[in-house]
Amino acid sequence: MTTLNSFTLFFFLQAMFFMISIPTSHSTLIEDTCHKTPYYDVCINSLNSSPGSSSADVSGLALIMVKVIETKANVALNKIHELQKSGSSAGLTSCASKYNAILVADIPSATEALQKGNPKFAEDGANDAANEATYCQSDLPGPLTAENGAVHDVAAVTAAIVRLLL
């Protein structure tokens, strides 16, 4: 009787290990999608930490990434406002304008385009956000390097994901 129970337990545990080690279609979709972007790690980290990604299709993943751009752009704009409290500069004013453009124009247009099934305009919005972050970095090298890089990278990932919908 003990041999039969050990034998059954052995196969049960092997079956459980096999089931756990098989990736789900969700993780495969995210990994496959992220491999098609310029910043795989940024893509994986952003999507795996975002609620709703587990049940999203590619369009849903793109919408999640647009939200990530929005979050990172808000972080950058908040830092700009903090820096402006200690003294304004033309570079800070220029960067504030660029991040306002991301938040007021690029994000809403990309979101609306994805919701309406028009990925080309969503790609344009994501690319514009990446460019605005790059321009800010050119206008004000130094104090916003990390924030500009983060916005640029998530926007580039978003544009790449949206291109998969074309």
The predicted-structure confidence for 33-87, as pLDDT tens digits, reads as follows 999 999 999 999 999 999 899 999 999 999 999 999 999 999 999 999 999 999 8
- pTM score: 0.84
Query: Does 10 fall in a domain?
Result: no
Residues 6+ apart with CB under 8 A from 39: 153, 154, 156, 157
Q: Give SS3 for 158.
A: helix
DSSP string, 79-146: HHHHHHHT---HHHHHHHHHHHHIIIIIHHHHHHHHHTT-HHHHHHHHHHHHHHHHHHHHHSTTTTHH
DSSP code, position 38: S
Sign of CA dihedral 76, 78, 84, 90: positive
pLDDT at res. 24: 44
Number of domains in the chain: 1
Q: The domain containing residue 124 runs over which residues?
A: 24-163
pLDDT one-digit tens code per residue, 90-101: 999 999 999 999
DSSP code, position 1: -
CB 53 within 8 A of CB 64: yes
pLDDT one-digit tens code per residue, 115-151: 999 999 999 999 999 999 999 999 999 999 999 999 9
Query: Does 14 fall in a domain?
Result: no
pLDDT at res. 27: 76
What CATH number is given to the structural domain containing 71?
1.20.140.40
pLDDT at res. 85: 94
Query: Does 152 fall in a domain?
Result: yes
Question: pLDDT confidence of 88, banded at 50, 70, 90?
Answer: confident
